[in-house]
Structure 1
Amino acid sequence: MPFHKILLFLIVFPFALGAQDSIPPQNDLKEPVILKNDTLFYFKSSMDNYPLKVRAEEASLRLERLTSTYNPLTDSLWLETGNEFIKIMLNNKFAIITTSRDAENHSTTIEKLAKFRLERLNSTLNQGEELSTKEWAKRIGYFVLSLIILVFYIKFINWAFRKIDLRLSKIEQKFLRKKQNILKYFIPKDTVNIFVFISNVFRIAIIALSLFVYAPFMFSFFPWAENVVNLFYGYIAKPVKYIFYGFIDFIPSLFFIVIIAFFARYIVRVINDIANDVDKERFEIKNFHKDWAKPTGKIFGIFIYALALILIFPYLPGSGSSAFQGVSIFIGAIISFGSTSAIANIIAGIVITYMRPFQIGDRVLIDNIMGDVIEKTILVTRIRTTKKEDVTIPNAKILVGTIINYSNENHKPIILHTTITLGYDLPWETANTLLLQAADKTSLLEKEPAPFVLQTSLDDYYVSYELNAYTLESKKMPAIYSEMHKNILIVFNEAGVEILSPSYVAARDGSLTTVPSQLKPEDKSPLDKIVDHLTGQNQKVTIKTSNKEQHD
């Protein structure tokens, strides 16, 4: 053999021999998968770039992590079949994978191997603690003892709070009797004893918190109750965690909302201060009436808050969810369809505010209702009539109707007028003179400008005379009209002029006149004479006449 071949053999042979000793056959390699210090099964093949030992260790760590909170009442194990592999799933999380290569190394099918591993994992997770009769009796005794302690604890809490309630009742009685104690006005009037009420709330809260903390300790003596307690706390912990972590995530948005709300409130406060100063004439704006100030401030405030709400809305929790959007659309639809009349009244109220057809205290005639304006709101206007009746009129109805305002800002006199009809046989000069005399006798009518009379129409049987007079007392119109009519009757009766038309003369009852001062017993109608005879009025008239003749 040549020398160089011998040298090559001596160099390569030891390495080949060492490699043969370090790599045993594939079927002899295996690594355990461990859970709760118990070997579940063995892996006999590696996966991709993962060595066999690394694969087994990672599977063990993954199982420990996934099963740390395992609860057989809520969690489930199941198989998910793929292409040449089957996964063992814990709920929706991957636990163990079984490949076709694993099945070949175990000389079985992949389905049987996956089911075997699933059963091993399931039995390990659900195995219970075997207790002897003596151990069961001991644990039951501990449970009964803890229950007795709990009962005595609750009784003690109730006894202590009864003592506290008696003391609080005495304190509250002294508290309410103090005349200078302003805090008593903040106590709800319907509550018999607010301090005792608050004490009972604290008592119930303490008992509930104690049961919440003490219950796991009581049931910890029974292995079967561990999962029930964990399930109970899971139901409570889930919403608490959701709210807590949701609040943590909401903190950045909360700062944004607070900043927007702060600036919106600040701007509205500035606008309200300006409006108050304009209303009280401490600040003047050219061509801007003071009664516009507060409504304008409210309108600007509404727009600013609406803009702030639009900016804040995307940052509210759940604003992007379909449920939140659906509820928002539903509420908006209800408001849109249900507030048509209200929106019409609001718009009419704004228009009336800037039209300024009347002010608070003005005497107005709206929708045939006369009275003084006592309140103006964005929706309605309230009027107090001359009969002291409070009438509420929607602003939309006022806007489409006619408004007569008897008051004015410059306090100028208004003209009151009344019409009478007289026959053509009476000279118009006489009628004018008598009407002006009646106006002169009426108080609250102005002498300057002087009253005047208008002949408003020449009808078939009579002439219409209209007496016009000035007054500054528009709120006393009913009384002025009443006195004016009374004076007209007095003046015309004294002058022997009856306020009748010739059409009435044709239908007289027999009397020659209706003027009391000119009416004599013999001029009365036959019907009035019969009435006077029955009532004895004619005898009184005869006695008065005879007495007058004797006196003469």
Structure 2
Amino acid sequence: MRDFVMEKSFLKVMILIFAAMLAAQLSYSQDISNNEKAIEKTVEAQIGVEPALLKLFNRPIIILRSSVFGHSPGDRVRAIEERFSENVKAGKINAISSQQSTEGMLILMDGELLMLFSNKDLDPFSRETMDSSVKVIVDRLEKVLELIRRQKDPKANLIGAGRTLVAILLFAALIIVLCRIQRWIKPKVGSLEEGLDRKLKELGYSSYSIHVNAFAFINKLIYWSISLFLLYTLITFALHQFPYTEPWGRKLGSYIIDIIAGLSAKVVDSLPDLFVVFIIFLITHWFVKISKSFFRGVANGSVVLNWLDPEAALPTSKIFSAIIWIFGIVMAYPYIPGSNTDAFKGIGVFLGLLISLGASSMVGQVIGGMVLMYSRAMKVGEFVQVDQNVGRVMEIGFFSTKLKTMKNEEINIPNSVLMGSLTKNFSRLSKSEGLIIHSSVTIGYDVPWRQVHALLINAAGKTSGVQKKPEPFVIQKSLGDFYIVYEINAFMDKPETYMRVKTELHANIQDEFNKYGVQIMSPNFEAQPPEKVFVPKEKWHEAPAKKDNT
């Protein structure tokens, strides 16, 4: 813990040092960048002549606007750059002077001609004079020569390299401390994520397997934002240490200042609209809380509505909440900063396209879920069969319905598929009228039907889970070529035990028929065998079967 506190203190000191270095460089760059922008502005000059900016040693000097002796401004700039480079190579970097001529003012570099500045090079839309323009040119050229002399000084370069090396080491130290803090925070972020996930599950979103990495995302965003800011500061500071790259450093510094200033101004201008948005969302949140409280009362029975079942109250609450929030967003949209910009509109169009592409299936699922909820075809906890799938309803969602089978399998059925499938509800009438369990057997014509009826009813009476009242009954479903199809029907009130009860019923039917020597005609016989086909009682418990009380 002590080491972490020391690392935090060290990180604060390092950030303060970086901030001081950046502030010093940016305050200087802000003043110079204004002059540079003024120099680089495009001004219309002579008809058919394109102005050209003269830059020497990566610094703007002046804009040339006229042709001289048939040479365009661009040609003149290239010629001046070549003469300047030759003078620098020759070591003629001591003095800049000016001299009057018939064509304008001559600019001399150590007594040799560097360039000619004519009256036609003056900006026709400003109050520039020849003397003021020449003074600007001379001052900037002298500044350039001073920087060139400084760059040729080994001591100055060594100082610049040393400062850059110190900045790199400082940057590396800050990154190491930042990584350690990141590792220390990561377990705590995991705990916050688990807490958020538990809260979401408490609100009823557990069935959608939601695990929001919101805190981890915020943690990474902060980490990379600080890292990129430190890297940006390092590059800006390093470029400032060398004369030739100093303008690039100034541009980087002024760029970030312009961004921060622009964003700050926009935030201040947007405060009234943001306040309106806040009020709208506050009112919307209040209405959502009221609706949730109302439907919660319907769900627990404290509020009774004839047109709404308690089971459908919470899903209805979600629908009302969604409608209220959509209305609130529509109301707040015009007040959201940037909502009228093309970028914002483009995002809206893109999202609308995505929704429209997936809307057909999604809307079908949602409508299917609503139909299931409000048609009361099934409820959570009921035992149902959908096609060949039999199980208890665990959840009816807007997009899918979940069943838990008797083999502890969870089946997820899309609502659109469910709407087009045959559904049997075993629970709906089981308490009031009872669920009828049934099974069929085929018996030959040589067996009296009254005996078959009695055997089937006896088998049903010995089956646990079958109700005594109403009594079981038998139906003769068909008279076939070789046998009669009998169906035993019995009542039960626990549909979740359906398969177990039916299995026991089948076992009892076999025991009863074997006990009285009655042959069950399965498989079919083309010709009746001379002896009866059944299992005598003394063979009921052949190995490996265990004896019971039957």
Q: TM-score range by the shorter chain?
A: 0.5 to 0.7
Aligned residues: 413
| Structure 2 Cα separation of the partners of residues 212 and 357 of structure 1 | 68
2:465 aligned partner: 444
1:69 aligned partner: 35
Is 1:517 the counterpart of 2:536? The answer is yes
Deviates more, 1:157-166 or 1:319-328: 157-166
| Structure 1 Cα separation of the partners of residues 347 and 232 of structure 2 | 35
1:350 aligned partner: 370
| Structure 1 Cα separation of the partners of residues 321 and 229 of structure 2 | 45
Call closer, same or farther: CA 1:457–1:209 in 2, change over 3 Å. closer
Q: How far does residue 316 in structure 1 lie from its aligned partner after superposition?
A: 2.5
Q: How far does residue 481 in structure 1 lie from its aligned partner after superposition?
A: 1.2
| Structure 1 Cα separation of the partners of residues 343 and 137 of structure 2 | 40
Maintained 8 Å contact 2:236/2:253:
no
1:494 aligned partner: 515
Call closer, same or farther: CA 1:500–1:126 in 2, change over 3 Å. same
1:360 aligned partner: 380
| Structure 2 Cα separation of the partners of residues 66 and 184 of structure 1 | 48
Maintained 8 Å contact 2:33/2:254:
no
Maintained 8 Å contact 2:43/2:123:
no
**Aligned partner (choices 159, 162, 174) of residue 148 of structure 1:** 162
1:484 aligned partner: 505
1:55 aligned partner: none
1:529 aligned partner: none
Maintained 8 Å contact 1:452/1:468:
yes
Amino acid at match of 1:429: R
Specify the SS of the correspondent of 1:77: coil
| Structure 2 Cα separation of the partners of residues 402 and 424 of structure 1 | 36
Q: How far does residue 237 in structure 1 lie from its aligned partner after superposition?
A: 3.1
Call closer, same or farther: CA 1:308–1:384 in 2, change over 3 Å. same
CA deviations over 1:47-92 (Å, ceiling 9, x no partner): xxxxxxxxxxxxxxxxxx99963447743333277xxxxxx9x9xx
Specify the SS of the correspondent of 1:415: strand
**Aligned partner (choices 270, 275, 286) of residue 266 of structure 1:** 286
Call closer, same or farther: CA 1:157–1:329 in 2, change over 3 Å. closer
CA deviations over 1:458-500 (Å, ceiling 9, x no partner): 3344332221111112111111111111111111122122122
Maintained 8 Å contact 2:430/2:494:
no
1:207-226 alignment to 2 at 5 Å?
208=231, 211=234, 218=241, 222=243
Q: How far does residue 441 in structure 1 lie from its aligned partner after superposition?
A: 1.2
Specify the SS of the correspondent of 2:487: strand
Maintained 8 Å contact 1:72/1:126:
no
| Structure 2 Cα separation of the partners of residues 395 and 162 of structure 1 | 53
| Structure 1 Cα separation of the partners of residues 503 and 193 of structure 2 | 55
Maintained 8 Å contact 1:165/1:199:
no
CA deviations over 1:267-307 (Å, ceiling 9, x no partner): 11222222233323344334431111111111011111111
Specify the SS of the correspondent of 2:256: helix
Is 1:185 the counterpart of 2:191? The answer is yes
| Structure 1 Cα separation of the partners of residues 412 and 146 of structure 2 | 85
Maintained 8 Å contact 2:473/2:488:
yes
Maintained 8 Å contact 2:45/2:123:
no
1:106-125 alignment to 2 at 5 Å?
115=121, 120=130, 123-125=134-136
Structure of larger gyration radius = 1
User: Aligned Cα RMSD in Å?
Assistant: 4.5
Maintained 8 Å contact 1:367/1:398:
no
| Structure 1 Cα separation of the partners of residues 123 and 478 of structure 2 | 117
CA deviations over 1:363-404 (Å, ceiling 9, x no partner): 111122111212221111111222333222111111122211
Call closer, same or farther: CA 1:398–1:406 in 2, change over 3 Å. same
Amino acid at match of 2:441: I
1:78 aligned partner: 44
TM-score normalised by the chain length of structure 1 = 0.63
CA deviations over 1:400-445 (Å, ceiling 9, x no partner): 2221100027723211111222233332222211111111111111
1:467 aligned partner: 488
TM-score normalised by the chain length of structure 2 = 0.63
Call closer, same or farther: CA 1:318–1:339 in 2, change over 3 Å. same
Is 1:130 the counterpart of 2:142? The answer is yes
Maintained 8 Å contact 1:496/1:518:
no
Call closer, same or farther: CA 1:183–1:277 in 2, change over 3 Å. farther
In structure 1, list runs of 5 or more residues that go unmatched. 1-64, 82-87, 91-111, 177-181, 191-195, 521-552
Call closer, same or farther: CA 1:326–1:151 in 2, change over 3 Å. closer
In structure 2, list runs of 5 or more residues that go unmatched. 1-30, 54-117, 195-212, 214-218, 540-550
Q: How far does residue 217 in structure 1 lie from its aligned partner after superposition?
A: 6.7
**Aligned partner (choices 321, 338, 353) of residue 333 of structure 1:** 353
Is 1:457 the counterpart of 2:478? The answer is yes
Maintained 8 Å contact 1:363/1:371:
yes
Amino acid at match of 2:149: W
1:372 aligned partner: 392
